[in-house]
Chains A and B, each alone.
Chain A
C-alpha cells in the first residue's frame, strides 16, 4: 500500500482568549495599583502624624506574612496529595460492579462534597487527639497536620467525581474492544480507560487545586499561623487602621501570583486536550 496524504479533521479552533487575558491583566493591574495607592495613602497619613513610613512597616512584615503564606502552600500541597490518593480509589468505587461498594463510595462522595469545608475542619480538629500514644512513644499531632486531613476529605470527594467523570467520558466501544480481547475489568481500567481519562482529568484537577489553595485560609479560623493569621497579627501589632488595606492586598497578591499561573496552565491544557482527542 502506498502512503497517501491523511485526511485530518481539524477540531474547531478554540475561541481566542485575548479578551479574557486582557480582563485578567486589568485585574492584576488594579490590585497592584490598589497596593500602591493604599501604601501611598498610609505613607501620607504617616507623614502627617510623624510616625514611621508605611513602606518601611510593610517591608518589615512582608517576610513574616510570606512565611505564613508558604504554610498555606504546604498545607494545600499535602491536602491535595492526600486527597488525590484517597480520591482515586473512591472514584473507582463509583463505577464498581459490586453494589455495596458503589453505594459506600457514593455515600462518602456525596457527604464530603456537600458539607461546608470549615465545619469539616472544626470537626477534624476536635475529633483528632493532639497527641498520639504509640506504645511508650508520644507523637504530637500538630494542628497543620489535622488541617491537611480536614481539607483532604472534601478534596478526595471532588477528585472522586473528577475520576468518575473522566472515566465515563471515554466512549463505550473502548470497553467493548477491551472486553473482546479478553481483558479483565481491572486490566481494562488500568491500561485502557484510565490512561486516556487522565489527560481529561488533569484540567479539572488543577482547577480544584487552585480552589483548595485559596480555601486554605480557612485554617486561620482554627488557630493555625497561616498567611491570614499573621497578616491580622501584623495589623494588630501596628494598631494603625490605615495599614489594613496594603497589608491585606499584599496577602491577596501572594495568592494571586501563585494561583493565576495555575489557572493559565489549566486553560492551556484544556485547549490541548480538546485538540488531541
Chain B
C-alpha cells in the first residue's frame, strides 16, 4: 500500500523482555510511521504477541525503550491510561463483553472512559458497525455472533476510541477460512484509509498484499525486515527461508 508515510508513531528501541530467566524479546528495534502497515511474522513462541502487549503497556518491558506518539512506555510516571486511549488492540479471542450488545460494546469505552456525549457516541458507533459490515447485528449479544462477526465488533470497539495506532494480535488465528476473509477485508480497508496498523499474523498472503514493511522474528529477535517483496521473494537469512519454505 503506497501512502505518504508520516512521522514515526511507534519507535521500539533495543527492547528486552524477560520472564524470570527466560528471555522472550532480545534487542528488538522497529519503527512504525504514521499511516504505515507493519506485519510481524514468525514461528509461534517467537515473542510477537508479547511485543504487541509491550507497546500498549499490558506487559512491562525489562529494558530498552518504546515510544508511542513521543510518549515513553517504559517511563515509571507514564499515564498508562492516556497511552491506551491512543493504542487500540484487537485480540485473537475477541474478548468482547458478553453481557452487553454489539452496539454497547462499541459505545462503552468512549462514554465511560472519555465521558463523551452518549448520543454522539451512538451515532459514531453505529457508523463504525456499519463500516465493518454489521449494521444488522447492533442489538445482538456476542454469544449470538459468529467468530468473524465478534472480531469485527472488537475492531469497531477499538476504533471508537479514535486510536493513533491499531495493534492486531493474530486476530484471524481462531477463525475458519470463510469468516477469516471478512476480518481481513476489514483490516485491509482500515489500512487503506491510512490507519497506522501493526499486525502479528500467520496470514502470509495477506501480509504480502497489505504490509508496507514486514518483520520476521524468531527466538525473540528480529531476524530480518524489509518490504514484503524482499522478505517473501528474496529473504537473505537462512532462518527466514526455512520458515517460509515450511509454511508456504
Q: How far is the CA of A179 from the CA of B60 in the complex (A)?
A: 14
Indicate which residue in A6, A7, A173, A182 contacts B109 across the interface (CB closer than 8 Å): A182
Cβ-neighbour of B58 out of A174, A176, A187 (below 8 A): A176
B247 interfacial contact with A, CB 8 Å = no
11 contacts between A and B (CB under 8 A): A173-B95, A176-B91, A179-B84, A180-B58, A180-B87, A181-B108, A181-B157, A182-B109, A182-B113, A184-B113, A191-B108
B113 contacts A183, C-beta separation under 8 Å: yes
Q: Point out the residue from A6, A179, A181 that lies within 8 Å of B146, measured CB to CB.
A: A6
Given A1-B133, A182-B84, A182-B85: A174 in contact with B113 (beta carbons within 8 A): no
Task: Give CA–CA (A184, B56) in the complex, Å.
Answer: 15
Query: What CA separation (Å) do A187 and B97 show in the bound complex?
Result: 13
Bound Cα distance from A49 to B239, whole angstroms: 104
Q: Check if A97 is an interface residue, CB within 8 A of chain B.
A: no
User: Contacts A176-B58, A179-B84 given; 14 further ones with Cβ under 8 A?
Assistant: A1-B133, A1-B182, A6-B146, A7-B146, A177-B96, A180-B89, A181-B158, A182-B82, A182-B85, A182-B113, A187-B112, A192-B97, A195-B99, A196-B99
**Are B161 and A181 in contact, CB atoms less than 8 angstroms apart?**
yes
A176 contact set on B, CB distance < 8 A: 58, 91, 95
Bound-complex Cα distance A205 to B102 (A): 30
Determine whether the beta carbon of B112 is less than 8 Å from that of A174.
no
CB pair A183–B95 under 8 Å, yes or no, is no
- The number of residue pairs between A and B whose CB atoms lie closer than 8 Å in the complex comes to 61
Smallest beta-carbon distance B10→chain A, Å: 15
Q: Does B65 contact A (CB under 8 A)?
A: no
Q: Across the interface, do A182 and B99 meet the contact criterion of CB distance under 8 Å? A: no
User: Number of B residues contacting the other chain (C-beta, 8 Å)?
Assistant: 31
Interface bits A132-175 vs B (CB < 8 Å: 1, else 0): 00000000000000000000000000000000000000000110
* Chain B residues proximal to chain A, CB less than 8 Å: 56, 58, 81-82, 84-85, 87-89, 91, 93, 95-99, 108-109, 112-113, 133-134, 136, 144-146, 149, 157-158, 161, 182
A3 touches B (CB below 8 Å) = yes
Contact: B161 with A177, CB < 8 Å? Answer: no
Interface of A is mostly: helix
Q: Is the CB of B98 within 8 A of A277?
A: yes
Which residues from B are CB-within-8-Å of A20? none
- Contact partners of B85 in chain A: CB under 8 A: 182
Question: Would A4 and B146 count as touching, CB distance under 8 A?
Answer: yes
For B149, the chain A residues whose CB sits under 8 A away are: 1
CA distance A178 to B182 in the complex (A): 25
Known: A1-B133, A173-B91. A182 touches B81 (CB 8 A): yes
* A24, chain B: closest CB distance, angstroms: 33
Contact B91 A183 (CB under 8 A): no
